C-alpha cells in the first residue's frame, strides 16, 4: 500500500533522507521509529505529496506521489505533529469545512461531521470553538478531520507528541479501532512504547535510512539479547552475584545498587537461568528475585542506533 | 469541473472567515475600532497643530489619508491569518487535499477584501460624522474607493508572501516595523513638503502617498495635486511582483 524506493532529499547541505526504502502491506499499522532529526517527518511529507524527493520513487495506494499527486491526495489522510484545525471555528464547523474542501456535498459533509463527532466522543463539545478544547480533544478532532473521506492510507506523524497520558490513551484507542477497520496506517513516533503497543511492524530510521525492520519481537530477538536479572537480598553480596553473572552470561553485567540488581545479556535463556540459580544456591547467595526478560524496545533502539552511528 | 471546484473551494474558504466573525464578534469590532481611534486622535488631538499645504480643513485632508492607511494596516491581518495557518499545520492539511493552490490564496484574498470593504465602510461613515465630505459626486467617489481597495488587494499579496516566508505569527512585530514607517512616512497625516528634503522624497514616492493623493483629488479634498497614475501603477507593480512570489512560495512550502 505504501512503497518507497531509495527516497533521497537534501535541505542545503543536510541530507534528511538518504536512500529510504519502505514497504507497508495493506491493512497493517507500520511504525516508523527514530530519534529527532532522523528523517521521519521528511519521509512522511514526501509520501503525503507535501514535499518532492530529490531522487527515488514512492507509490501510495497505487499512485506515484510526484506524478499522480492528486490521486494520492484523494486517498490519504494526514495527521501531523500539531492539531491542524482552525481554533476559531467550532469542532463541527471545522469538520464541515474540511469536508466541503474534500468535495463532499453540503448534506454529506454535515452528516459525516456529525458521525465523526459522535465516534470521537466530541458530540458534546461540537459547537464550542476548537481553541477551547483540551490537547487530547483537539488531537481527536484532528484525527476526525483526517478521516472525513475514509482514507485508504492514514499517515500519523507523532500523533501523541505533547499529550498527557490520558490524551495519549485516547488517541491510541482510536488508532487501534481504525486498524481494526482495515485502514493502512503509517505512524511515526519517538515513543518506543507507542510503537510496541500499536504497530504490526516497525522500521527504525536513522540518518535518513532504514537501519532495521521487522516486528517488534523480531527486532528484540535479533538486535539485542535477552537479559537475566538477579535481585539479591543482601546488598553486600551484589558484587559476588555480578561476578557469577559475568561467568555465565554473554556480556558485561550491569549493576544497579539501589535496586540490588545485577543484570547480564544471555543467549540461551533456559541454560543460563538454570546455571545461575544453581550457582547462587551453591555459593549461598540469597536471591529475592531472578528472571529472564526480553529486552525493552529502548534497549533495542539504543543498540541499533549505536550500531548505525559507528 | 476544475473551475467549478475552484470557485466552490474559494467560497468555502471565504465563508470560513465569515464564521470567524460570527464566532468572535468582539475581535471584529476591535479590529474596526483601531483605525477609528487613530482617526479621532489625529482629527481632534494633533490635527489642530497641523497645517494643510495650500490651505483647507485638516479633517478633509486627513480622511483620505486614513482610508489609505487602513488599507495598508490590513496587511497585518492577512499576515497573522496566513502565518497562523502555516504554523498550525492547517496549510499543510489544505495541501494534502485535492484543492488547488489558487483556491487557497483566492479564498484568503476574497475574505480579506470583504474585511477591507467593511473596514472602509465604517471609516467612511466616521469621516462623514466628523465633517469630511466627497465633493466631486458619486462616480469620482466610487473611483476613489476602487483605488483604495486596489491598494489593499496589492498589499494583501505582500502579506501572504511575507507570512509564508516567515511562517510564524510571532514575527508580526517585524511586519509592524515595516508597515508603520510605511504608513507614517507618507502624505497620510502631513504633507511631504513639511519633511526634511530626503525624507520628503521618500514620502512622495511611497505607494500610500500615491493612493492618498489620488483619492484626495477624486473626493475633492485639499492637499497634493500630483498626477494620479502612481495610484494605479504602484499597486500593479506590487501585484506583478508578489502574486507569483506568494503562489510559488505556497507550492514550495517545506
Which of B12, B88, B253 has its CB closest to that of A97?
B12
What does the alpha-carbon distance between residue A156 and residue A145 come to, in Å, rounded to a whole number? 12
Q: Compute the distance between CA of residue B131 and CA of residue B31 in angstroms, rounded to an integer.
A: 23
Domain ranges across chain B: 16-251
Q: Is B92 on the interface with A (CB under 8 A)?
A: yes
Give the nearest partner residue to A89 out of B23, B87, B253, using CB atoms.
Answer: B23
Q: Return the pLDDT at B1.
A: 60
User: What's the CA gap between A39 and B192, in Å, rounded?
Assistant: 55
Question: Which chain A residues are within 8 Å of B249, Cβ to Cβ?
Answer: none
* pTM reported for the whole predicted model: 0.79
* Window 269-288 of A, Cβ < 8 Å to B: none
Q: Is A12 on the interface with B (CB under 8 A)?
A: no
The region that residue A79 occupies, defined by phi over 0 for left and psi between -120 and 50 for alpha, beta otherwise, is beta
The residue of chain B with its CA nearest to that of A53 is B254
Q: Given CB atoms, is B24 within the 8 Å cutoff of chain A?
A: yes
Query: Which DSSP string corresponds to B94-162?
Result: HHTTT--HHHHHHHHHHHHHHHHHHHHHHHHHHHHHTT----SHHHHHHHHHHHHHHHHHHHHHHHHHH
Collapsing DSSP to helix, strand or coil, B107 comes out as helix
Do the chains contact at B98 and A73, CB–CB below 8 Å? yes
Instruction: Tell me if chain B has a CB within 8 Å of the CB of A66.
Output: no
Q: Between chains, do B93 and A80 touch, taking CB under 8 Å as contact?
A: yes
What distance in Å separates residue A208's CA from the closest CA in chain B?
Answer: 17
Q: Is B180 exposed, middle or buried (0-12, 13-18, 19+ CB in 10 A)?
A: middle
Cell numbers describing residue A185:
496506517
- Cα separation, A91 vs A215, in Å, equals 37
Closest approach of A158 to chain B, Cα-based (Å) = 13
User: Which set of grid coordinates corresponds to residue B65?
Assistant: 489619508
CA dihedral B48, B49, B50, B56 (to 10 degrees): 40
Q: What percent of chain B has pLDDT over 90?
A: 38
Residue B172 has pLDDT above 90, yes or no: no
DSSP-based three-state secondary structure for A55: strand
Do the Cβ atoms of A87 and B88 come within 8 Å?
A: yes
Contact check, Cβ <8 Å, A84/B12: no
Residue of chain B with shortest Cα separation from A94: B16
Interface residue A63 vs chain B (CB under 8 A): no
pLDDT bin (cut points 50, 70, 90) of residue B55 is confident
**How close B160 gets to chain A, by Cα (Å)?**
18
Q: Does B203 have pLDDT greater than 90?
A: no
Strands A261-266 and A226-232: antiparallel
Do A88 and B24 count as a contact with CB atoms less than 8 A apart?
yes
Say yes or no: A48 contacts chain B, CB-CB below 8 A.
yes
Of B5, B96, B99, the CB nearest to A78: B96
The C-alpha of A301 sits at a distance from chain B's nearest C-alpha, in angstroms, of 28
A106 interface with B at CB cutoff 8 Å: no
Residue B224 grid coordinates: 497634493
Residue A12 distance to chain B (closest CA, Å): 13
Residue B214 pLDDT grade (very low, low, confident, very high; cuts 50, 70, 90): very high
CA distance A178 to A156: 12
What is the residue-level pLDDT of chain A in tens, covering all 310 positions?
Answer: 999 999 999 998 889 999 999 999 999 999 998 888 889 999 999 999 989 999 999 999 999 999 998 899 889 988 887 788 999 999 999 999 999 999 899 999 999 999 999 988 899 999 999 999 988 888 889 989 988 888 999 999 888 887 788 878 888 888 888 888 889 999 998 877 888 889 999 998 988 999 888 888 888 777 677 888 999 998 888 988 998 888 888 888 888 888 899 988 888 888 888 888 898 889 888 888 898 887 777 777 777 777 666 5
Shortest distance between the Cα of B15 and any Cα of chain A, in A, equals 9
Query: Would an 8 Å CB–CB cutoff place B225 in contact with chain A?
Result: no
Chain A touched by B89 (CB under 8 Å):
yes
Q: Name every chain A residue with its beta carbon within 8 A of the beta carbon of B87.
A: 82
CB of B13 less than 8 A from some CB of A: yes
Give the best-scoring range by mean pLDDT among A39-43, A298-302, B186-190, B247-251. Answer: A39-43
Q: Is A112 on the interface with B (CB under 8 A)?
A: no
> Which one of B92, B96, B249 makes the best mutation probe of the A interface by having the most chain A beta carbons within 10 Å?
B96
Helices B2-23, B25-40: inter-axial angle, 10-degree rounding: 80
Q: Is A296 helix (H, G, I), strand (E, B) or coil?
A: coil
Domains in chain A with CATH codes: 2-220 (3.40.50.300), 225-294 (3.30.70.100)
ipTM of the complex in this document:
0.84
Amino acid at each position: 500500500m505504501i512503497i518507497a524506493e531509495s527516497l533521497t532529499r537534501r535541505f542545503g547541505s543536510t541530507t534528511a533522507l538518504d536512500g529510504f526504502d519502505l514497504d507497508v502491506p495493506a491493512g497493517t499499522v507500520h511504525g516508523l521509529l527514530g530519534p529527532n532529526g532522523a528523517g521521519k517527518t521528511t519521509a512522511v511529507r514526501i509520501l503525503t505529496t507535501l514535499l518532492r524527493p530529490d531522487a527515488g520513487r514512492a507509490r501510495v495506494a497505487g499512485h506515484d506521489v510526484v506524478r499522480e499527486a492528486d490521486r494520492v491526495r484523494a486517498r490519504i489522510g494526514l495527521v501531523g505533529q500539531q492539531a491542524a484545525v482552525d481554533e476559531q471555528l467550532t469542532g463541527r464547523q471545522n469538520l464541515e469545512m474540511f469536508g466541503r474542501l474534500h468535495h463532499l456535498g453540503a448534506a454529506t459533509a454535515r452528516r459525516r461531521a456529525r458521525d465523526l463527532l459522535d465516534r470521537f466522543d466530541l458530540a458534546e463539545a461540537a459547537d464550542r470553538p476548537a481553541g477551547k478544547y483540551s490537547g487530547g480533544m483537539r488531537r481527536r478532532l484532528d484525527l476526525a478531520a483526517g478521516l472525513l473521506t475514509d482514507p485508504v492510507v492514514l499517515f500519523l506523524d507523532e500523533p501523541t507528541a505533547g499529550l498527557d497520558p490520558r490524551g495519549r490513551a485516547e488517541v491510541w484507542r482510536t488508532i487501534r479501532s481504525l486498524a481494526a477497520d482495515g485502514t493502512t496506517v503509517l505512524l511515526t513516533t519517538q515513543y518506543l512504547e507507542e510503537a510496541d503497543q500499536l504497530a504490526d511492524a516497525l522500521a527504525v530510521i536513522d540518518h535518513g535510512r532504514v537501519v532495521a525492520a521487522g516486528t517488534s519481537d523480531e527486532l528484540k530477538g535479533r538486535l539485542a539479547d535477552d537479559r537475566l536479572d538477579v535481585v539479591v537480598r543482601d546488598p553486600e553480596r551484589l558484587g559476588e552475584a555480578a561476578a557469577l553473572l559475568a561467568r555465565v552470561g554473554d556480556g558485561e553485567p550491569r549493576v544497579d545498587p539501589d535496586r540490588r540488581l545485577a543484570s547480564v545479556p544471555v543467549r540461551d535463556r533456559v541454560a543460563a537461568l538454570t546455571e545461575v540459580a544453581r550457582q547462587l544456591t551453591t555459593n549461598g547467595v540469597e536471591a529475592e528475585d531472578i528472571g529472564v526478560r526480553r529486552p525493552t524496545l529502548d534497549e533495542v533502539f539504543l543498540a541499533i542506533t549505536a550500531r548505525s552511528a559507528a | 469541473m476544475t473551475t467549478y471546484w475552484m470557485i466552490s473551494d474559494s467560497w468555502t474558504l471565504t465563508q470560513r472567515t465569515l464564521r470567524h466573525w460570527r464566532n468572535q464578534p468582539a475581535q471584529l469590532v476591535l479590529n474596526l475600532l483601531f483605525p477609528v481611534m487613530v482617526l479621532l486622535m489625529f482629527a481632534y488631538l494633533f490635527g489642530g497643530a497641523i497645517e494643510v499645504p495650500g490651505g483647507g480643513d485638516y479633517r478633509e485632508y486627513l480622511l483620505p489619508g486614513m482610508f489609505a492607511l487602513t488599507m495598508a494596516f490590513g496587511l497585518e491581518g492577512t499576515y497573522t491569518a496566513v502565518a497562523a495557518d502555516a504554523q498550525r499545520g492547517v496549510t499543510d492539511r489544505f495541501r494534502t487535499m485535492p484543492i488547488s493552490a489558487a483556491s487557497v490564496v483566492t479564498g484568503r484574498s476574497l475574505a480579506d477584501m470583504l474585511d477591507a470593504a467593511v473596514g472602509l465602510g465604517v471609516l467612511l461613515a466616521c469621516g462623514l460624522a466628523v465633517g469630511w465630505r466627497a465633493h466631486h459626486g458619486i462616480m469620482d467617489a466610487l473611483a476613489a474607493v476602487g483605488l483604495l481597495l486596489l491598494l489593499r488587494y496589492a498589499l494583501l499579496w505582500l502579506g501572504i508572501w511575507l507570512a509564508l516566508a516567515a511562517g510564524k505569527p510571532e514575527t508580526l512585530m517585524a511586519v509592524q516595523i515595516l508597515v508603520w514607517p510605511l504608513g507614517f512616512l507618507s502624505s497620510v497625516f502631513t504633507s511631504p513638503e513639511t519633511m526634511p528634503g530626503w525624507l520628503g522624497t521618500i514620502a512622495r514616492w511611497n505607494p500610500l502617498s500615491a493612493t492618498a493623493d489620488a483619492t484626495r483629488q477624486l473626493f475633492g479634498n485639499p492637499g497634493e495635486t500630483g498626477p494620479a497614475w502612481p495610484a494605479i501603477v504602484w499597486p500593479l507593480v506590487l501585484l506583478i511582483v508578489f502574486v507569483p512570489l506568494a503562489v510559488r512560495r505556497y507550492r514550495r512550502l517545506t
